[in-house]
Amino acid sequence: MTDILKIKTPLTDEVVSKLKSGDSVLITGVMYTGRDAAHKRMIDALNKGEKLPFDIQGQIIYYVGPSPAKPGKPIGSAGPTTSYRMDAYAPTLIKLGLKGMIGKGWRAKDVIDACIKYKAIYFGATGGAGALIARAIKKADIIAYDDLGPEAVRRIEVVDFPAIVINDAFGNDLYVKGVEQYKQTV
Amino acid sequence: MKMREINAKQITDAVSDLCMKANFDIPDDVIQVIKKAYQDEPSPQGKDVLKQIIDNDEIAHNEQVPMCQDTGLAVFFVELGQDAHITGGLLNDAINDGVRKGYKDGYLRKSTCNPFTRKNVGDNTPSIIHVEVVPGDKVKIIMAAKGGGSENMSRVMMMKPSDGLEGIKKYIIDRVRESGSNPCPPIIVGVGIGGTFERSALIAKKSLLRPLGTPNPDPELDKLEKELLTSINKLGIGPMGLGGRTTALAVHVIVEPCHIASLPLAVNIQCHSARHKEITI
């Protein structure tokens, strides 16, 4: 197992350049949540010449639609959703300054290319580990699209959020590399 | 023959409880197989993922919170005894009332939406209800919480009869390979072969309810399941697709007769969070 790197948000080009596909990381700082419907609205807003609901420079978007928080808890279970559904929107956001995405599952070539061109990272988190991951989320506030319920955009504060670098800014892909390493002839 | 009366309210309360329990408590057969995979997995990153899953499912059970935020569409398999009579309301209404209550009281995510506007319905209804009439005067209700990620990787394929068993095997293995990390591996692969277009999908989903580690009652199908599992675990996808040998925990197959012109094949993929609970009233 490689050493676990501790990183802070917002991400800088310097930090992004140090991260390599396969690195395990613990992320601390502010992140924003957004999935299908929120992405559609953000892109629609941009197309209408409107602003995004938060300053995207250096930020990480976590693809998650949490379950409702129990009384006294900041958030309910909060594991990653499958990322390819955001592929149509991600390159536009990366171009505007988005530095990180957290989700699960492979990304389209457009997204991987944008990560190389604009220095961004795609992180994977463990799908179906929503109760465990929620422990890293200390605060959550809905900042936009309240009517979307679980899909609303939340500003979350995380401490030691566990993730792994899938696509780095150099074109490496852990999903390809990992499978190559363990596949046997079928 | 006297009908046994079952009150709709009793069904609503039972369904509410099933929805919560299914989402909080991983079935014992599933966690045992995951723990075994954790012992056997050679990939360090794969092992790390399996450990996270084991820890997560323990937290969910201890704190009675959902193990996954995607608490699914509520799918029901109801075996209704033909000598049972539901009183005080309709069966489907009773079930949907139970879903509304369970998803609210259990702080479960509501995930049903309008397909076009994508507006959330807000109470996780309507649920998906499959009713089968069986002998007896009881009603058995199985609730499965089916997440979107693995369901999205599922397919129905109307194969040609000439594709035969080899074509079927190839399609299933290719489906798992192409799904990669998306459906939250390690997965359970439910396969329905035969019937009609919709029947193949239904039996594929039904096959997922068989407890893990139990053999297929048909020795030939049992052999096929084991062969497919071995092939799938050679793909190298591993836990969460990071590379490894544990891509699937099991392959389950149900076969039924089909039309002379057809060879329906359904592959229903289930994530490691294989949530289902049942009750007999």
Q: What is the pLDDT of residues B213-223, one digit of tens each?
A: 999 999 999 99
B149:A81 CB<8 A: yes
Q: Based on the domain organization, do B117 and B159 belong to the same domain?
A: no
Cβ–Cβ gap A67/B109 under 8 Å: yes
* Single residue among B124, B146, B168 that ends a domain in this structure: B146
Phi, psi at residue A84, to the nearest 5°?
A: -60, -25
Q: Do B181 and A104 touch (CB under 8 A)?
A: yes
Q: Cβ separation of B240 and A124 shorter than 8 Å?
A: yes
Look at residue A48 and give its three-state secondary structure.
coil
Same domain, B91 and B11: yes
B172-199, pLDDT tens digit by residue?
999 999 999 999 999 999 999 999 999 9
B69 confidence band (pLDDT: 50, 70, 90): very high
Whether the predicted pLDDT of B267 surpasses 70? yes
**Distance in angstroms (rounded) separating the CA atoms of residues A15 and A66:** 28
**Which of B 51-110 lie inside 8 A of A, CB atoms?**
52-53, 55-57, 59-60, 63, 65-71, 107-110
Facing residue for B242 by CB, picked from A133, A148, A178: A178
pLDDT tens-digit profile, chain A (186 residues): 557 999 999 999 999 999 999 999 999 999 999 999 999 999 999 999 999 999 999 999 999 999 999 999 999 999 999 999 999 999 999 999 999 999 999 999 999 999 999 999 999 999 999 999 999 999 999 999 999 999 999 999 999 999 999 999 999 999 999 999 999 976
Q: Are residues B160 and B244 in the same domain?
A: yes
Closest CA to B96 of B72, B126, B121: B126
CA neighbor of B188 nearest in space, from B233, B158, B122 = B233
Q: What percent of chain B has pLDDT over 70?
A: 100
Of A127, A132, A183, Cβ closest to residue B235:
A183
Let me know if residue B42 belongs to a domain.
no
One domain for residues B127 and B191 = no
Is the CB of residue B109 less than 8 Å from the CB of residue A76?
Answer: yes
How far apart CA A179 and CA A21 sit, in angstroms, is 13
Over residues B84-104, the pLDDT tens digits come to 999 999 999 999 999 999 999
Compute the mean pLDDT over every residue in chain B, rounded to the nearest whole number.
Answer: 97
For the stretch B123-175, pLDDT in tens is: 999 999 999 999 999 999 999 999 999 999 999 999 999 999 999 999 999 99
What is the value of ipTM here, to two decimals? 0.95
Nearest chain B residue to A127 by CA: give it.
Answer: B184
Chain B, 200 to 239: residues with Cβ < 8 Å from chain A are 231, 234-238
Name the residue among B180, B169, B267, B47 with its Cα closest to residue A186. Answer: B169
Whether B12 shows a pLDDT value over 70: the answer reads yes
**Residue B91's domain spans which residues?**
4-24+67-146
Q: Are residues B116 and B81 in the same domain?
A: yes
Proportion of chain A above pLDDT 70, given as a percent? 98
CATH, residue A12? 3.20.130.10
* B128 is a domain residue: yes
Query: What single DSSP character describes residue B195?
Result: E
- What is the band of B2 on the pLDDT scale with cuts at 50, 70, 90? confident
Tell me if chain A has a CB within 8 Å of the CB of B118. Answer: yes
Tell me whether residue A175 is one of the annotated catalytic residues. Answer: no
Best of A179, A180, A185 to disrupt the B interface (most B CBs within 10 Å) is A179
Domain count across chain A = 1
Counted domains in chain B: 2
Provide the token pair at B117: 């506007």
Examine the domain organization and report whether B240 and B134 are in the same domain.
no
Cβ distance of A106 and B66 shorter than 8 Å: no
Task: Based on the fold, state whether residues B179 and B247 are members of the same structural domain.
Answer: yes
B146, B180, B204 — which closes off a domain?
B146
Assess contact for B192 and B200: CB atoms under 8 A. yes
Q: What is the pLDDT of residue A44?
A: 96
The verdict on residue B274 lying in a domain is: yes
User: Token digits for B204?
Assistant: 């594929």
**One domain for residues B89 and B139:** yes
pLDDT of residue A3: 78
Task: Calculate how close chain A gets to B148, using CA atoms only, in Å.
Answer: 9
The Cα of B88 is separated from the nearest Cα of chain A by a number of Å equal to 32
Torsions phi, psi for A47 (to 5 deg): -65, -25
Picking from B172, B136, B177, the residue whose alpha carbon sits closest to that of residue B253 is B172
Compute the count of residue pairs across chains A and B with CB atoms less than 8 Å apart: 175
A167, A23 Cβ separation under 8 angstroms = no
Smallest CA–CA distance, residue B242 to chain A, in Å, is 5
Question: Do B224 and B166 share a structural domain?
Answer: yes
C-beta neighbour count of B278 within 10 angstroms: 17
For residue A128, the distance in angstroms to the closest alpha carbon of chain B comes to: 5
Active-site position among A23, A31, A33, A39: A39
Bridge-based pairing of strands B84-87 and B139-146 is: unpaired
Q: Which of A168, A158, A162 is nearest to A9 (CA)?
A: A158
Which pLDDT does position A185 carry in this prediction?
Answer: 78
Question: Does residue B123 lie in a domain region?
Answer: yes
Domain membership of residue A67 as a residue range: 4-16+24-182
What's the gap in Å between the CA of B87 and the closest CA on chain A? 34
Last residue of a domain, one of B81, B113, B146: B146
If asked whether residues B173 and B270 sit together in one domain, one would say yes
- Contact at CB, A178 and B236, closer than 8 angstroms: yes
Instruction: Say whether both B140 and B155 belong to one domain.
Output: no
Q: Which residues of A touch B45 (CB under 8 A)?
A: 1, 22, 24, 164, 178
**Identity of residue B278:** E
> Are residues B263 and B161 part of one domain?
yes
Q: Give me the pLDDT at residue B219, please.
A: 98
pLDDT for res B1: 66
The pLDDT, as a whole number, for residue B175 is 98
Spell out which residues of chain B touch residue A67, defining contact as CB-CB under 8 Å: 65-66, 69, 71, 107-109
